[in-house]
Structure 1
Amino acid sequence: MKGGETMQGACGYGDLFKQGYGLKTAALSTALFNNGATCGACFQLMCVDAPQSCHLGNRIITITATNFCPPDYSKTEDIWCNPPQEHFDLSMPMFLEIAKYEAGVVPVKYRRVHCQKTGGLKFEMKGNPNWILVLVHNVGGVGDVVNVKVKGSNSSWLPMQRNWGQNWQTHERLVGQSLCFQVQASDGRWVETDYIVPANWQVGQTFEAKTNF
């Protein structure tokens, strides 16, 4: 694990402060990122086995996966994000919580934990009238989403496909319809929203459900 800056990136969350993630984030290496399926998952990290680099007291931080640390196959050193490395590229403030600045890279123990979120699931409307793209965020529980369905006031339940990160798409025309969603997390649990998106919704708007995992 090393310290860097992971403000925005491959999960599609955009402004991490606006989305509520702040600096408590990490970019994941290929082995952990899982082509974006791990976006939104939460991890606890602790610096270990490096007494000259780790802070005393076994400090633990909790971060959310919000970005991808791309591999660089042209290099033979500093290849932390190349397979099969399991690597976290932290924002610098989070790195300094558990290790000294001059360390640069430290070994860690990590584990998946439940994400603690305030409020309900959030859905940011993107795309255009012919192609709806929805960013699902503020996901509690295990944090990562594996399945999304959408239902318009004049349609049946329609499966959505992952476009990238936690952006989900459908080419069905749902303009002028109020919308509700079904969201499935990686532990198999489902959450169904009511018609939280009104019929006059616009691209760029974000709507919050009353429920979460």
Structure 2
Amino acid sequence: MAQVSRKDGRHVNILSTLLLLCLKAVKVLSMEAWAVTEWGSAHATFYGGSDAQGTMGGACGYGNLYSIGYGVKSTALSNGLLNNGLSCGACFKIVCQLEASKWCYPGKEVVVTATNACPPGSTGGWCNPPKLHFDLSYPMFAQLAHRVAGVIPVNYKRVPCERQGGIRFSMHGNPWFDYVLVHNVGGMGAVCSVAIKGDKTGWISMSHNWGQFWSASTHLVGQSLAFQVRLCKGKVQEFYNVAPSNWGFGQTFEADYNF
């Protein structure tokens, strides 16, 4: 059997270490876009008009952003930031790169909630992979830069979401299909898993349907409901006595606490 000299072995070890570091770097880079809590670079445009009416609805499932509590402080995300819809509800702090655009307003920053997707093929191609892009509501863009800029270079980072009241669960579906929209989520905002529990059942894992809609094929009508929610940053919380036994589809229930 051929033997590797100590010198050759040292080279092999060095190469192995470099390869491992490269693989780790690729993994970190793949996570940084949507999970970064230090400053990253992207670009931003705007949509929805001066009253932000055009931002209602969208790929996260929140519907009317005014009634749900997010208002005009919203953004659509390119695919590189959306994380297959799991970034819905996340909060981002955004500042215009003053040194890179003459249209930036100095000393201005906004915090926005991810409420929609900016799909590939959108005007200008800014949301095409692998670009990192925020399509802000116009009122948010107008706080950062002059409208004539159209598109601006920005710095961004994930920040905790400040919410009023408890986490909320909107019940949809039918007696054999529970279809729940999770919103008004505090902490890091984005939900990565949900479980539901009736007063006669154990915890039942829900499937990610789309946006922040979660579903389970189970019959829980007539039972009071509890939920277990895990944020994408790993924190898990259980919310008991969320809905009474006479809950109905089309209703929204608020827990007594939040993240």
Per the shorter chain, which TM-score range? over 0.9
Amino acid at match of 2:244: P
Q: 1:97 corresponds to which residue? A: 143
2:103 counterpart (42, 53, 56): 53
Percent of pairs identical after alignment? 51
2:126 counterpart (69, 80, 83): 80
Aligned-partner SS, 2:172: strand
CA contact (8 A) 2:90 2:190 kept: yes
Q: For residues 48-197 of structure 1, what are the structure 2 equivalents within 5 Å?
A: 48=97, 49-55=99-105, 57-72=106-121, 78-197=124-243
| Runs of 4+ with deviation above 4 angstroms | none
Distance 2:141 2:207 in 1: 34
**Alignment length, in residue pairs?**
209
Q: Deviations over 1:116-136 (max 9, x none)?
A: 011111000011111110111
| Structure richer in helix, relative to its length | 2
TM-score by length of 2: 0.79
Q: Deviations over 1:64-96 (max 9, x none)?
A: 000000101xx8x71101001100001111100
Stretches of structure 1 that go unaligned for 5 or more consecutive residues are: none
Q: Deviations over 1:151-201 (max 9, x none)?
A: 101111100011001111000111111110010111211111112211111
Distance 1:143 1:8 in 2: 18
- Of structures 1 and 2, the one scoring higher in RCO (CA 8 A, sep 6+) is 1
Aligned-partner SS, 1:147: strand
Distance 1:81 1:101 in 2: 19
Q: Deviations over 1:18-56 (max 9, x none)?
A: 11000100000010011101000000111113442111x
Distance 2:209 2:137 in 1: 26
CA contact (8 A) 1:7 1:23 kept: no
Identify the range of structure 1 (192-201 vs 13-22) with the bigger mean alpha-carbon deviation: 192-201
Q: 2:30 corresponds to which residue? A: none
CA contact (8 A) 1:119 1:212 kept: yes
1:17 counterpart (50, 66, 74): 66
Aligned-partner SS, 1:107: strand
Amino acid at match of 1:52: K
Q: 1:8 corresponds to which residue? A: 57
Distance 1:66 1:117 in 2: 15
Q: 2:41 corresponds to which residue? A: none
CA contact (8 A) 2:101 2:153 kept: no
Amino acid at match of 2:102: Q
Structure with greater Cα Rg: 2
Distance 1:177 1:8 in 2: 30
TM-score by length of 1: 0.95
